[in-house]
Structure 1
Amino acid sequence: MAVCCDLEVDVNGEESFMVDKQKIISSYSGRLSKLFGKSTGGTRTLKVIFNDFPGGAEGFELMLRFCYNNGRIDINPSNLSLLYSAAKFMEMSSDFPSTTRPNLLEQTEKSLQQIGYWTWSELLVTLKQCQDLSNSSSIVEKCMDSLIGRMALSSESSPCPSTSSQDSSGTFRVSCDSRSTESLKTCFVRGTWWFEEISGLSLSFIEMLIKAMASKKFDHGTISKFLFYYQKSKCYSTSGGEKVKTIEVVIDLLHILDWSSIPCKSLFGLLRVALSLNVSKCSRKKVENMIGSQLDQATLDNLLIPSPHGANSLYDVNLVLRFLKSFLQGGIYSIRLKKVASLMDMYIAEVAPDPSLKPSKFLALAMALPDSARDSYNEMYRAIDMYLEVNFSVVVKVAAEVLGL
């Protein structure tokens, strides 16, 4: 018997569908049932416009198949997120009391319980679909949890002896017992095989995933390596505004990690990119604080950052002073402090010949560290000699002004 189509549905302006509103689709959808009530609508064809239907025409068509097949449809990882979001949007759940027909939301949730048997590719496909769906947060959370678990257990495919476990607190632990350099190298490659594939997710999903990884005590060193990989790969393929947003999100995510797990050299590279893109002051300050916390790991080349455009001096002395301030705020430890003092002596000697370096800035560098930081002032004296040799007239002028001469 032919089906009477008395309802036209415009889905997001993409496509229009002719359906039977009373006998079929309304009996499954609480949204449409409430919209039409008990009216038959006569012989006139009604029209409904959905401007925000999740999954667009594809999602609506999948939902129609469920309705026209009496609640029978193959639900799999490639369509589960679309069907779930459509069911939520159309109110096709057990909360819809006017029917005893199968409800789509319940079936998708039941299928989602099998997520432990999905392949890595199926998880990624589902997660990428969810990027364009506004009401799929529960699927996103389950997919991300499964992905994180598999990344943490990735050492199972490594040739080196390893053990992996997840304790009651949700902490993932992976150990590699082999001390062979080659085996350790292979372990590292195995442990980071997911970098490229995960990079295909949107920036907002990357942010959600990293925060979830951090909350589950995933290795912070591995997380930081991924974030630098992601930042570099995205900066090659995005425009200026998108680059800035990417850098700022990466900085925010690095900031929530254990700073000691982040390579100092990589932070300097990130800072140089951030400075060139003129990211927000808040983001720059976060990078500066992270660098300052491990300034004893820096090299002289790291510190020789050119001054901002328009400044007279060759190097950004103010930036180095901010590094020192952050370092000292973290507490003074003799061995680390002496390493920083040695680094600063080399830095001061490098910037001393700059004729544009103001005496106040030179003095600030010389006095930034406490007396206990140095066993000898020989290097400092040499730097002072170099500075006076180049800037003697300036120093004399300043002294005269101070003394009122």
Structure 2
Amino acid sequence: MAEACCDLEADINGEETFLVNKRIICSFSGRLSKLLGKSTGANRNKVIFHDFPGGAENFELIARFCYNNGEIDISPSNISLLYSAAEFMEMNGSVSRNCNLLGKTKRCIEEIGFWTWPDLLATLKHCQDFQQVATSSGILEKCLDSIVARLVITSEASPCASTSSPDSSGFRLSCDTRSTESLKSSFSRVNWWFEDLSVLSSDLIEMLVKSMVSRKYNHVIIGRVLLYYQKSKFFTATSDEKCKVLEVVIDMLDTLDPSCIPCKSLFGILRVVPGLNISKSSRSKLESMIGSQMDQATLDNLLIPSPYGASYLYDVNLVLRFLKAFLHGGGCRSSPTRMKKVASLMDLYITEVAPDPFLRSSKFLALVAALPDSARDRWDELYHAIDFYLKVHAGLSEEEKLKICCALNYEKLSSDACIHLSRNANFPSKSAVQALISQQSKLKNLLQGTKNTKLDTDSPCKFTQIRRKAKKDEGSEQTDLYSGKFDVPPDHENLRTHLQGMQGRVIELEKLCKKMQNQMARLMKSKVSTHGTARSLPRLCSCKNINLH
């Protein structure tokens, strides 16, 4: 430009100063025309813009448009810049019929449905820098809608070539065998476009996913997009950028069907969380998602190291929160099978953490009692875990041991476990008594269920009946059950065999029970003689008064 023609000085955001012809620029810009009036004299004027969209680079595009008498090549790579600048400079044709840059860009935006996939991506990238303007103008929304619409259309079709190619049309629905095989080696049928979207900002990914969800796009694929996006961004992102990405990914995953998100992938996200300062809300959402799929987890998933500074080995509190989320989500009501799988997993986990010498009894008890009684058909595994814990933590008080043992369901312990517990010095004596009583009750129920035998089947306690019958025998201290003599009809040989098998166990339990009764009696006498007044013993582990006879 000749110096004589450059009578307007334009300072653009402090980046660069342009010398332009005031008459030419004002003939296209309604904003400058208002600011400078109709004066086109030789006196040089100056304008300062602090918030010009796109900065100095975009002002240069506008200046070229004006000097070319309203002609410019509008492309997907500059349309958002031109539109935002045209709106800022009020280039809507109010001054000259040829200066309606705003109208030209709007017409191009209306044709966005015919753009190729690379063109759409280029526009999205530019919208990231001018998101506010792009949102208000509708460019961003139209671009996102077009991308999602094409993904929906082509979700069942294989693309023909990598979209990273500048020649790619993005959505060719038929292709030759060679190009198909080449594509399969680098992209799967459903994730060929994941890499293209990984260049977008977390804000745009959030908007894109919301649009996909509203259009009922496949939640499985959306989940894969988000997981791919998180991994790809983490290669170059700063700590703050990682926090933002992770929060967006977690928030968006939380809007999807939980069954569409692999539990393994959620634990993968969880592993990177400790090093980042993400929000409590996002942490809570991630834990809830994992908890809702607790039945899909493995023991290795749960063995998460404790937070920095904690003395205990594993993050027990985190696992307890998983269980709370699982129960809150109706895991026990919706599927008993899922509940039992979680119980089996927890038995393994409790056994694994039991040897930790720094694990407090309150936390161990919380793990043992976290699930309802109905979750387990048998409690043998949990009994062995408690046995292990009591061995390692031999210094626990009697009260602490009793609290832990009260969580046991003695009725669901096998006979072998009951006998083992009755002889186990690690357990309080009251627990041993409870185990014997539980086993005795099982024998009563067994005998009560016996049909067509010499016993009176209407008696409420067959075990007591046997003992009374033994006392009536002439000096005999054994019943038919003890001696192995059974009056059973010939067609009940299976019952005879079963009762004979119980013979030795009944005798052993009777002896142990009698021995325990004697110990309890001596303990009572000792307390009476020491304090001068009778005091009641604490309740047994079932928390009920139990008659030992």
Q: TM-score, normalised by structure 1?
A: 0.86
Q: 1:164 is matched with which residue?
A: none
Q: Tell me if the contact between 2:134 and 2:140 (Cα under 8 Å) persists in the aligned partners.
A: yes
Three-state SS of the structure 2 residue aligned to 1:190 is coil
Q: Report how far residue 377 of structure 1 moved.
A: 0.8
Name stretches of at least 5 consecutive residues in structure 1 with no aligned partner. Answer: 160-181
Separation (CA, whole Å) in 2 of partners of 1:379 and 1:289: 27
Q: Report how far residue 329 of structure 1 moved.
A: 0.6
Three-state SS of the structure 2 residue aligned to 1:47 is strand
Q: Report how far residue 149 of structure 1 moved.
A: 2.0
Cα deviation code 1:310-336 (max 9, x no counterpart) = 212111111111101110011122111
Cα deviation code 1:139-177 (max 9, x no counterpart) = 111111112222233346429xxxxxxxxxxxxxxxxxx
**Are 1:103 and 2:104 an aligned pair?**
no
Separation (CA, whole Å) in 1 of partners of 2:401 and 2:134: 69
Separation (CA, whole Å) in 2 of partners of 1:395 and 1:260: 45
Q: 2:111 is matched with which residue?
A: 114
Separation (CA, whole Å) in 1 of partners of 2:402 and 2:289: 41
Q: Tell me if the contact between 1:54 and 1:85 (Cα under 8 Å) persists in the aligned partners.
A: yes
Q: 1:15 is matched with which residue?
A: 16
> Aligned ranges for residues 148-159 of structure 1 at < 5 Å?
148-155=148-155, 157-158=157-158
Distance 1:228 1:339, change over 3 A: same
Separation (CA, whole Å) in 1 of partners of 2:74 and 2:126: 15
Q: 1:299 is matched with which residue?
A: 298
Which runs of at least 4 in structure 1 moved beyond 4 Å after TM superposition? 185-188, 399-404
Q: 1:173 is matched with which residue?
A: none
Separation (CA, whole Å) in 1 of partners of 2:220 and 2:187: 11
Q: 2:457 is matched with which residue?
A: none
Separation (CA, whole Å) in 1 of partners of 2:314 and 2:369: 18
RMSD of aligned residue pairs (Cα, Å):
2.7
Q: 1:246 is matched with which residue?
A: 245
Three-state SS of the structure 2 residue aligned to 1:189 is coil
Separation (CA, whole Å) in 2 of partners of 1:147 and 1:357: 53
Cα deviation code 1:53-87 (max 9, x no counterpart) = 22222221222222223322222222211211110
Q: Percent identity?
A: 61
Separation (CA, whole Å) in 2 of partners of 1:193 and 1:101: 43
Q: 1:378 is matched with which residue?
A: 380
Name stretches of at least 5 consecutive residues in structure 2 with no aligned partner. Answer: 160-180, 405-536, 539-549
**Are 1:360 and 2:358 an aligned pair?**
no
Q: Report how far residue 105 of structure 1 moved.
A: 0.7
Amino acid aligned to 2:18: F
Separation (CA, whole Å) in 1 of partners of 2:34 and 2:114: 38
Amino acid aligned to 2:73: D
Q: 1:29 is matched with which residue?
A: 29
Q: 1:336 is matched with which residue?
A: 338
Three-state SS of the structure 2 residue aligned to 1:277 is coil
Three-state SS of the structure 1 residue aligned to 2:129 is coil
> Aligned ranges for residues 61-210 of structure 1 at < 5 Å?
61-93=60-92, 96=94, 98-133=95-130, 134-137=132-135, 138-155=138-155, 157-158=157-158, 189-210=188-209
- Higher mean alpha-carbon deviation, 304-313 vs 70-79, is at 70-79
Q: Tell me if the contact between 2:390 and 2:401 (Cα under 8 Å) persists in the aligned partners.
A: no
- Higher mean alpha-carbon deviation, 226-235 vs 287-296, is at 226-235
Amino acid aligned to 2:389: Y
Q: Tell me if the contact between 1:151 and 1:194 (Cα under 8 Å) persists in the aligned partners.
A: no
**Are 1:264 and 2:263 an aligned pair?**
yes
Amino acid aligned to 2:147: L
Separation (CA, whole Å) in 2 of partners of 1:363 and 1:156: 52
Separation (CA, whole Å) in 2 of partners of 1:230 and 1:344: 33
Q: Tell me if the contact between 1:151 and 1:191 (Cα under 8 Å) persists in the aligned partners.
A: no
Amino acid aligned to 1:54: P
Separation (CA, whole Å) in 1 of partners of 2:401 and 2:327: 30
Q: 1:170 is matched with which residue?
A: none
For CA contacts below 8 A with separation 6 or more, give which structure has more relative contact order: 1
Three-state SS of the structure 1 residue aligned to 2:19 is strand
Cα deviation code 1:254-306 (max 9, x no counterpart) = 12222221111111111121123242322211110111111111111111111
Q: Report how far residue 102 of structure 1 moved.
A: 3.9
**Are 1:394 and 2:392 an aligned pair?**
no
Structure having the higher Rg:
2
Separation (CA, whole Å) in 1 of partners of 2:187 and 2:339: 32
Cα deviation code 1:351-396 (max 9, x no counterpart) = 1121211111111111111111111111111111111111122243
Separation (CA, whole Å) in 1 of partners of 2:310 and 2:16: 59
Q: Tell me if the contact between 1:88 and 1:135 (Cα under 8 Å) persists in the aligned partners.
A: no
Distance 1:188 1:289, change over 3 A: farther
How many aligned residue pairs are there? 377
Q: Report how far residue 309 of structure 1 moved.
A: 1.5
Separation (CA, whole Å) in 1 of partners of 2:57 and 2:73: 15
Three-state SS of the structure 1 residue aligned to 2:274 is helix
Separation (CA, whole Å) in 2 of partners of 1:386 and 1:74: 78
Separation (CA, whole Å) in 1 of partners of 2:402 and 2:217: 60
Q: Tell me if the contact between 2:323 and 2:370 (Cα under 8 Å) persists in the aligned partners.
A: yes
Q: Tell me if the contact between 2:27 and 2:99 (Cα under 8 Å) persists in the aligned partners.
A: no
Q: Tell me if the contact between 2:62 and 2:82 (Cα under 8 Å) persists in the aligned partners.
A: yes
Q: Report how far residue 188 of structure 1 moved.
A: 8.0
Separation (CA, whole Å) in 1 of partners of 2:80 and 2:19: 24
- Higher mean alpha-carbon deviation, 225-234 vs 390-399, is at 390-399
> Aligned ranges for residues 211-250 of structure 1 at < 5 Å?
211-250=210-249
Amino acid aligned to 2:122: V
- Higher mean alpha-carbon deviation, 8-17 vs 318-327, is at 8-17
Cα deviation code 1:114-155 (max 9, x no counterpart) = 212222111111111121124122111111111222223334
Separation (CA, whole Å) in 1 of partners of 2:122 and 2:158: 25
Three-state SS of the structure 2 residue aligned to 1:393 is coil
